A and B are shown apart, each in its own frame.
Chain A
Amino acid sequence: MIVVVIIMSASLPGKFLTLINFQSMAVQIPEFGLLAIAMMIAMITGGIDLSVVSITNFTGVISALILKTYVPGEAQSASLFSIILLTIITALAVSAFSGFVNGFLVANVGVPPILATLGTQGLFLGLAIIITEGHGISTFPEKFLYIGSGKIGGIPVPLIIFIASTLLVALFLRKTALGLKMYMVGSNPVAARFSGINNNNVLRMTYVVTGLLAGISSLIMISRVNSIRPGYGYAYLLQAILVAVLGGTDPGGGYGSVLGVVLGIIILQTLQSGFNILAFSPFFRKFIWGLMLLLVMVINFYISIYQQRKRPRKIKTET
């Protein structure tokens, strides 16, 4: 990561290492960072969640509707506050429920996560499109925009939300029984089941958590952009998977850490803003992201071979 920063700063003197650049990076990180962490959690249990961006859209549309319907032109600040609170609670409930649908399909019906979330990807995006008829919804109350563009002591609010959620997830994975069970289910489902873990319950909870993270990301997104349109943020799906894999998460399950993913997010965002300064076209970026994803996977493959050769009998320690 440090290498990337040095290369970027050296090649773009006077542009890269500026305060404004870092501030804009701090604003962009939380949205897809939360999605990447959601992706990591799904991957830890050996699954994947392709529906995160759709959940984000669906939740965003619902929240936008609440804000538009219940906020009159000149609302009292007290009632405005309660409506915003209602919006946030509804958004979290909707996203958790969407996640629960995924979890139910994966755990109770037994559909492989790829297909289940591929289906719900269409389903949730479809719902968002039906509700809005393909149009965008925009201009929310100014107080609500504080979530996406406000600052507390010079630090953007989204970044604070992001750091808080990240810490919570890290604690959840490391210190709670459920978090540990996720790793166990991911590394060996049969062994997990025989050690008395209720696999179905763990899987259901996994997707509820990924849904919730997508919901938080959605709130930040709609309040930063001040509008929502179904289909917004589709590039985030590839980036979320890329960052999760870049951060050392094993798509096969069992390995992955919040710290790794956060490092991955920072690397990606650093490159991203470098690309912004270099004014790469979105198509060329698409090309680079895809290439990077493949490259990282190939490198991971060689690293795992190297490790196996080096320590033939030792069990691979968790990173």
Chain B
Amino acid sequence: MSNLPRPSKDTGWRLFVRTMVARAYPRVIGQQRQRWWMFFEVTLPLVGLSAYVFVYRAIGAPADFVGFVILGGAMSAFWLNVLWAMANQLYSEKQTGNLPLYIIAPNSLMAILLGMALGGMFATALRAAAILLLGSWLFDVKFTITDGWTLAGVFVLALCALYGMGMMCASLFLLYGREAWHLVHAAQEPVYLVSGLYFPINTLPHVVAIAASIIPLTLALDAIRQLVLPSGADGWLPVRVEMGVLLLLAFVFTAAARVLLTYMERLARREGRLTEAHG
């Protein structure tokens, strides 16, 4: 018995990275095994955005507005992923009984959240690409990339800020029961409205646009439109400014997620709400 090799135990940053990879893995592999989810997650936004495309056509909007809708539909995939697979995730884990295992295991909950975010980003990027390609093909939309590097920068910053927000919300939702599900539902259409998912953000009053800038989707969409639809995108703020704000949001949300996660975990332990299910 004593001759058996002792299993290696990672600690410190190695454990952190392995935990991240382990949590990201099912996000990436899961969608290969659940083709129905992939089907629904591409088809549902496409059906929704098609209706908005026909609305624009019915009222004689310029062709670039169709591009707005396609881009909005693709970016909505990330927002839905942030809501359902990040913010709501720890609540779902509580429902399926996994959350206590996360707590018992000798790993960092922050690494689990980061792993969820990385896996979610990758898997959703595939879905968003599918929506973008199919939408562009169906409605004959031509995107013209004026500055590829800046576009890539905006996209990466947008994802960091969005998923940072998701991590922060996941920490907050740790305490919630059934209301978490409803709150996530309630954060869909109102965010689509204030972030200008299907129309230029500067159509809204400036006060609303400024308030909506706390949602990374708002500035990300405005910047991306300016970079791929230069003729139709009457940008709200210069792209560099929007990138700066997105960077700031990414830092603030990730730091807030770390602080809140520690606080909420302690609170949830004290109130015995980590193991409640079917609330």
Do A and B pair up? The answer is no
Residues in chain A within 8 A of chain B (CB atoms): none
Residues in chain B within 8 A of chain A (CB atoms): none
